[in-house]
Amino acid sequence: MCFSTVFDIVKNKADQLGHTEKEMYASLKNEKVNKKDILAYKESGVIPTDERVLNGILNYLDMSKTELELTLGRVPEGFEDVFLKNTKEIAKLLEKRKEAKKEEQNTVPAIAPYYSSDLGKLYKGDCLELFKQVPNESVDTVFADPPFNLDKEYDEGVNDKNTFSGYLNWYYKWINECIRVLKPGGSLFIYNIPKWNTYLSEYLNRRMNFRNWITVDMKFGLPIQKRLYPANYSLLYYVKGDKPKTFNVQRVPLQTCPHCGREIKDYGGYKSKMNPNGVTLSDVWSDIYPVRHNSSKNRKFNELSVKLLDRVISMSTNEGEVVLDPFGGSGTTFAVSELLGRKWIGFELGNCEIIKDRLENKGRDKKLFKKVYEEKNKLFPDKVKELRKKNGLWTDDDFRSDNEKVLNGNTKENKHDQISLNLK
């Protein structure tokens, strides 16, 4: 791949090394190259004539001047005659290399899935190797919940302790694979702590289209001295291309007091204009709770809720489309995909037997799913509506005729409510 400027080549090298811009400039400074020295070549395609700057850049890139010129897509100085006299040989060499690379891509040894269903396949192993099984632009949505590099306990073989740059370098590699396998307009969701997602969003902003930084409110009540109490995870939402090819509006109930049923926010004269399917989902999700109780947990390690994955998958895909999760964990993504009628591809380096058992015994997930759909796409869930009527409070029924109530119950946004009827 050719780059237009020396700065572009240096920045690409920094990405390969997992360096942030700050780390990149610090490394260049060690080579006696200042920030202003390299920025002088951000717009210009020339090679530095200052020996100090040139040698420092070459040391950081670990290449010769000739290699740098070739990377810039130009014939190195002094080699013009050699190139002109050997164009046929050079062309043959390039074509041969191109064919060899193409053949290499087409001969990736097939890996048998650990588990298969009518809708999906689960593979056991390293995601960077397993991604090779997935064709270009074949996936509609990728959801990733990787280890957070906090040295937490996971299944044997799963590493959650790496250096700062090593973790980011690993991260960038599998993100590139996610981008490769996504269809144009496909969606990428990455769940992590804000610390890491700040670096990841900077990397993704140069490769995909930013949609939302979703804050997932998660209060644990743990005391922490001399710092702000961290009470959220972040969910990055990007698309491949200008806009998502699939986006289904998600709605949530109007917030009410659990004791009296009164709305927490006063909507004043707008009550009659409220959508009976609920309030449009914002980028702050305060209704996702940690999976802690044994009745809803499938393993002793961290596990994501069915509600979170239902929201992501319902929003970004339609029935029959493909969801990929490179870090299967307890299998929540695959369980929800099965219940929503989505095709899926899953990777997991740790214990896959837990996932297999979960997918073969869906009873627990069906119960959890039914609870999710008791509140989804409803302005007032049935229990809240009964409480409000009992206390003489308004409901959306007060502003609609009987015919409108029937029509509202069959809107496109409300169609997924019918799923709960099939979860017996």
- Which of 141-168 are b and which e, b meaning 16 or more Cβ less than 10 Å from the residue's Cβ? bbbbbbbbbeeeebeeebeeebeeeebb
pLDDT, residue 210, reads 96
Query: What are the E-state strand segments in 336-402?
Result: 343-348
- Residue 144's SS3 state is strand
- pLDDT over 90 percentage in the chain: 40
pLDDT, residue 116, reads 96
Question: Each residue of 246-289: pLDDT tens digit?
Answer: 999 999 988 889 889 898 877 666 777 888 899 899 999 988 87
Contact (Cβ atoms closer than 8 angstroms) between residue 228 and residue 297:
no
Question: Each residue of 175-218: pLDDT tens digit?
Answer: 999 999 999 999 999 999 888 899 899 899 999 999 999 999 87
Instruction: Give the amino acid at 67.
Output: E
pLDDT, residue 95, reads 82
pLDDT, residue 151, reads 54
Rounded (5°) CA angle 342-345-349 = 140
What's the gap between Cα 132 and its chain centre? 18
User: What is the pairing mode between strands 322-325 and 139-144?
Assistant: parallel
Q: Which stretches in the chain have pLDDT values below 50?
A: 1-3, 293, 296-301, 403, 416-418, 420-422
CA 414 – CA 248 distance, rounded (Å): 11
pLDDT, residue 297, reads 45
| Secondary-structure breakdown of the chain: helix, strand, coil percentages, each rounded to the nearest 5 | 45, 15, 45
Neighbours of 287 (CB within 10 A): 16
Contact (Cβ atoms closer than 8 angstroms) between residue 382 and residue 343:
no
CA 348 – CA 351 distance, rounded (Å): 7
pLDDT, residue 109, reads 76
pLDDT, residue 75, reads 79
- Residue 401's SS3 state is coil
- Give me the residue label for tokens 């994955």: 309
Closest by CA position to 172, among listed 140, 206, 138: 206
CA 143 – CA 321 distance, rounded (Å): 14
What DSSP designation does 109 have? P
CA 272 – CA 379 distance, rounded (Å): 12
